[in-house]
């Protein structure tokens, strides 16, 4: 027996506390559900991916079926991780019978937790989780001398020239549909994979992932040509495009 | 509808004041009501170029600060009835101007004039920014050399971001006036040519003023070249630019070096023979 026990991996258990939203349905339940629907309409993503605990304390004496209420919340996509303020037997026989009763485990405290302000009508912006992150910046006019475009979240595309004395700093690659006369700095976030593209090379400085070069560093034959610039074995490599 | 035009360049000495005076005079010569404002507080020159230096009593700073009324400060030109000048102060600096004060003056002038031409100081600081702030359009004065072109590029960027129109999301009209153009030197590659400048600045061309002693003489005599020597090439270039400002579609002829042309003609003859 002792040998068997030592063959099993040691079990590790960790504890973690996290935030859960505590919903406190109030009678009449149909009216409360309508209010919840209205709230979810205003801020569609508010409950997405958030653990929800249903507290039945306000429904004491109400004769509606608690399992039906949980079912209604489940149908709305809420992720119920526990209940509280309800006698266990009232959920017996339903699919929610095994939900942990969280109140017991916290020692029967009556505390409902801190109240959280719900998004108001004015804040109708969808939850950040649902919006794909912006990964490119398009500038459809020339970047003039003295202007500085800094975009760390991805690629920068410029339709027009990047003037002498202007600079663009991109997290990813830099694309210039025009003459590149100023400074182009690429790969601030994405690193060595970033590239610089331009229709006409007349740059004052180019850099990828911290490796930089000025006009002295490249062959004059590339001047005024359409080129791409990339990192190759730790150095800048310029090659003609099509 | 009056138009507020800022004449600007970034770089100094490229011909802002001369061009303000010449364009203003050319517009006034066609019967338009024109006022020239000198925004170069502390380094005023427009009064000299207009030959009005001994007639200045009150100036822009006095009006902005409420020490004088606008009609007291306006100087009417003696040669062209429809041309007026609002001089700058020579004894103050640019900090004497405020945005509200300048707006008040421009609004008052809008009621009286068809064209309000703001002669900007060089640089990109407060004085230049106030001169462009309330403009409807800009004439960017550029010499065909790299430093002037780069500074103009910088100013164009500011026109697109710091003017009230640009801040309101409206399109800001900009025109390029290429001055001191020397066809012979451009042909030899000693200067940028028209195509180079247009490619870099990418704004529409209003005119090309050839480098000329007529312009210098006129300035020294305190008389815009369009008045002093209207038959000169420079005066014609300014007169045409003024017509284009008014919306006339005139073809722009690139100045050519006369010797070169004759040389080409002879060369051709020889080839035919």
Tell me the pLDDT tens digit for each residue of B70-116.
999 999 999 999 999 999 998 888 889 999 999 999 999 999 999 99
Contacts of A142 in chain B (CB under 8 A): 202
CA B167, chain centre distance (Å): 23
| Interface contact flag, A145 B157, Cβ < 8 Å | yes
Its ipTM equals 0.74
Q: What does the pLDDT read at residue B98? A: 94
In this structure, what token pair is assigned to residue B152? 């103009």
Asked whether the predicted pLDDT for residue A170 surpasses 80, the reply is yes
Output the CA torsion A141→A144→A148→A151 (10° steps). Answer: 20
| Interface contact flag, B151 A163, Cβ < 8 Å | no
Whether residue B13 contacts residue B94, with contact meaning beta carbons closer than 8 Å, is answered with: no
Question: Which pLDDT band holds residue B158 (cuts at 50, 70, 90)?
Answer: very high
Average of per-residue pLDDT values in chain A: 84
Whether residue B137 contacts residue B247, with contact meaning beta carbons closer than 8 Å, is answered with: no
CA distance A203 to A201: 6
CA distance A185 to B146: 23
Interface contact B192, partner A, CB < 8 A: no
Q: What does the pLDDT read at residue B215? A: 94
Output the CA torsion A95→A99→A101→A105 (10° steps). Answer: 160
Contacts of A147 in chain B (CB under 8 A): 157
Q: For B133, how many CA atoms within 13 A lie in the half-sphere containing its CB?
A: 19
Interface contact B123, partner A, CB < 8 A: no
Asked whether the predicted pLDDT for residue A90 surpasses 50, the reply is yes
Asked whether the predicted pLDDT for residue B128 surpasses 50, the reply is yes
Whether residue B44 contacts residue B88, with contact meaning beta carbons closer than 8 Å, is answered with: yes
Whether residue B117 contacts residue B68, with contact meaning beta carbons closer than 8 Å, is answered with: no
CA distance B129 to B8: 10
Asked whether the predicted pLDDT for residue A19 surpasses 90, the reply is no
Q: What does the pLDDT read at residue A129? A: 56
Question: Which pLDDT band holds residue B210 (cuts at 50, 70, 90)?
Answer: very high
How close is the nearest chain B Cα to the Cα of A173, in Å? 23
Please report where in the chains the tokens 């230049």 appear, as a residue.
B128
Interface contact B196, partner A, CB < 8 A: no
> What DSSP letter does each residue of chain A carry, written as one string?
-HHHHHHSPPP---------EEE---SSHHHHHHHHHHHHHHSTTTTTT-EEEEE-GGGTT--S-HHHHHHHHHHTT-EEEEEESS-GGGGTTSTTTTS-BHHHHTTS--------PPP-TT--PPPGGGSPPP-EEEE-SPBPTT-EEEETTSEEEEES-B-TT-EEEESS-EEEEEEE-SEEEE-TTTGGG--EEEEEE--SEEEETTEEEEGGGS-GGGTTS-EEEEEETTEEEEEE--
Average of per-residue pLDDT values in chain B: 92
Contacts of B151 in chain A (CB under 8 A): 145
Asked whether the predicted pLDDT for residue A127 surpasses 60, the reply is no
Contacts of B150 in chain A (CB under 8 A): 145, 163-165
**Those residues with Cβ within 8 angstroms of residue A66's Cβ, 6 or more apart along the chain or in another chain:** A56, A59, A83, A86, A90, A91, A96
Question: Which pLDDT band holds residue A15 (cuts at 50, 70, 90)?
Answer: confident
Pairing of strands B205-210, B173-181: parallel
Question: Which pLDDT band holds residue A175 (cuts at 50, 70, 90)?
Answer: very high
CA distance A31 to A33: 5
Whole-Å CA distances, B78 to A48, A189, B60, B81: 77, 65, 20, 7
Nearest CA in chain A to B203: A142
Judged by DSSP in three states, B171 sits in: coil
How close is the nearest chain B Cα to the Cα of A181, in Å? 9
Where in chain B does DSSP place strands (E)? 3-8, 34-38, 75-76, 83-86, 115-119, 137-142, 173-181, 205-210
| Interface contact flag, B151 A147, Cβ < 8 Å | no
Q: What does the pLDDT read at residue A45? A: 72
Q: What does the pLDDT read at residue A102? A: 75
How close is the nearest chain A Cα to the Cα of B150, in Å? 6
CA distance A144 to A170: 17
CA distance A63 to A72: 16
CA distance A241 to B16: 42
Interface contact B202, partner A, CB < 8 A: yes
CA distance B148 to B13: 10
Q: What does the pLDDT read at residue B261? A: 52
Q: Compare CB distances from A145 to B153, B160, B199 and report the shortest one's residue.
A: B153
What is the pLDDT averaged over residues A174-194?
95
Asked whether the predicted pLDDT for residue B264 surpasses 70, the reply is no
Question: Which pLDDT band holds residue A84 (cuts at 50, 70, 90)?
Answer: confident
Q: What does the pLDDT read at residue B219? A: 92
Q: What does the pLDDT read at residue A122? A: 47
Question: Which pLDDT band holds residue B268 (cuts at 50, 70, 90)?
Answer: very low
**Those residues with Cβ within 8 angstroms of residue B101's Cβ, 6 or more apart along the chain or in another chain:** B63, B64, B65
Asked whether the predicted pLDDT for residue B273 surpasses 50, the reply is no
Asked whether the predicted pLDDT for residue B259 surpasses 70, the reply is no
CA B260, chain centre distance (Å): 30
Whether residue B85 contacts residue B36, with contact meaning beta carbons closer than 8 Å, is answered with: yes
Helix H or strand E segment including B167: helix B164-167
What is the pLDDT averaged over residues A189-211?
95
Q: Count CB pairs under 8 A between chains A and B.
A: 37
What is the pLDDT averaged over residues B172-187?
94
Whether residue B136 contacts residue B3, with contact meaning beta carbons closer than 8 Å, is answered with: yes
Nearest CA in chain B to A141: B202
What is the pLDDT averaged over residues B25-47?
96
Q: Which range, of A25-29, A171-175, B127-131, B154-158, averages the lowest pLDDT?
A: A25-29
Asked whether the predicted pLDDT for residue B176 surpasses 90, the reply is yes
Whole-Å CA distances, B207 to A115, B183, B199: 69, 14, 15
How close is the nearest chain A Cα to the Cα of B121, in Å? 18
| Interface contact flag, A179 B199, Cβ < 8 Å | yes
**Greater confidence, A136 or A107?**
A136
Mutate to test the interface with A, among B129, B140, B200 (most CBs of A within 10 A): B200
In this structure, what token pair is assigned to residue A154? 């991805």
* The length of chain B, given as a count of residues: 273
Asked whether the predicted pLDDT for residue A75 surpasses 90, the reply is no
Mutate to test the interface with A, among B8, B140, B150, B162 (most CBs of A within 10 A): B150
What is the pLDDT averaged over residues A153-163?
96
Nearest CA in chain A to B154: A145
Question: Which pLDDT band holds residue A114 (cuts at 50, 70, 90)?
Answer: low
Whether residue B122 contacts residue B86, with contact meaning beta carbons closer than 8 Å, is answered with: no
Pairing of strands A196-201, A167-170: unpaired
CA distance B128 to B173: 17
Q: What does the pLDDT read at residue A85? A: 83
How close is the nearest chain B Cα to the Cα of A65, in Å? 58
> What DSSP letter does each residue of B248-266 carry, written as one string?
---PPPPP--HHHHHHHHH
Whether residue A213 contacts residue A236, with contact meaning beta carbons closer than 8 Å, is answered with: yes
What is the pLDDT averaged over residues A154-174?
95
Please report where in the chains the tokens 């005023």 appear, as a residue.
B44
């Amino acid at each position: 027996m002792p040998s068997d026990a030592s063959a099993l991996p040691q079990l590790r258990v960790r504890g973690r506390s996290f935030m859960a939203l505590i919903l406190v349905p109030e009678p009449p339940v149909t009216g409360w559900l309508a209010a919840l629907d209205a709230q979810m309409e205003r801020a569609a993503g508010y409950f997405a991916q958030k653990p929800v605990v249903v507290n039945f304390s306000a429904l004491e004496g109400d004769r509606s079926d608690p399992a039906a209420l949980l079912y209604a919340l489940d149908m709305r996509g809420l992720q119920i991780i526990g209940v509280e303020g309800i006698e266990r037997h009232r959920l017996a026989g339903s699919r929610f019978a095994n939900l942990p009763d969280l109140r017991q485990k916290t020692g029967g405290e009556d505390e409902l937790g801190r109240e959280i302000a719900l998004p108001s009508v004015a804040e109708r912006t969808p939850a950040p989780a649902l919006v794909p992150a912006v990964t490119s910046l398009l500038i459809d006019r020339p970047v003039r001398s003295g202007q500085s475009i800094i975009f760390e979240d991805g690629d920068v595309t410029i339709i027009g020239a990047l003037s002498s004395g202007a600079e663009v700093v991109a997290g990813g690659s830099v694309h210039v549909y025009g003459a590149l006369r100023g400074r182009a700095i690429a790969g601030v976030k994405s690193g060595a994979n970033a590239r610089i593209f331009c229709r006409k090379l007349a740059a004052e400085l180019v850099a990828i992932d911290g490796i930089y070069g000025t006009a002295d560093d490249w062959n004059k034959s590339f001047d005024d040509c359409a080129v791409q610039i990339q990192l190759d074995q730790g150095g800048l490599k310029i090659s003609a495009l099509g | 509808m009056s138009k507020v035009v800022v004449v600007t360049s970034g770089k100094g000495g490229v011909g802002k004041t001369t061009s303000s005076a010449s364009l203003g005079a050319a517009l006034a010569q066609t019967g338009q009501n024109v006022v020239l404002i000198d925004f170069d507080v502390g380094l005023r020159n427009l009064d000299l170029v207009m030959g009005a230096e001994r007639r200045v009593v009150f100036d822009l700073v006095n009006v902005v600060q409420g020490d004088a009324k606008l009609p007291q400060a306006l100087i009417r030109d003696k040669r062209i009835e429809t041309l007026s000048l609002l001089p700058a102060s020579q004894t103050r600096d640019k900090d004497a101007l405020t945005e509200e004060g300048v707006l008040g003056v421009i609004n008052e002038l809008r009621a009286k004039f068809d064209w309000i031409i703001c002669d900007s100081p060089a640089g990109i600081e407060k004085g230049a920014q106030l001169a462009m702030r309330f403009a409807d359009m800009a004439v960017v004065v550029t010499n065909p050399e790299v430093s002037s072109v780069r500074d103009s590029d910088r100013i164009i960027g500011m026109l697109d971001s710091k003017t009230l129109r640009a801040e309101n999301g409206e399109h800001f009209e900009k025109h390029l006036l290429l001055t001191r153009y020397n066809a012979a030197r451009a042909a030899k590659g000693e200067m940028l040519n028209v195509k180079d400048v247009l490619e870099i600045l990418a704004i529409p061309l209003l005119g090309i003023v050839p480098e000329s002693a007529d312009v210098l003489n006129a300035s020294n005599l305190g008389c815009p070249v369009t008045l002093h020597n209207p038959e000169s090439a420079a005066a014609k270039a300014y007169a045409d630019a003024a017509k284009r400002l008014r919306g006339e579609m005139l073809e722009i002829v690139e100045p050519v070096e006369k010797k070169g042309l004759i040389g080409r003609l002879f060369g051709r003859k020889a080839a035919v023979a």
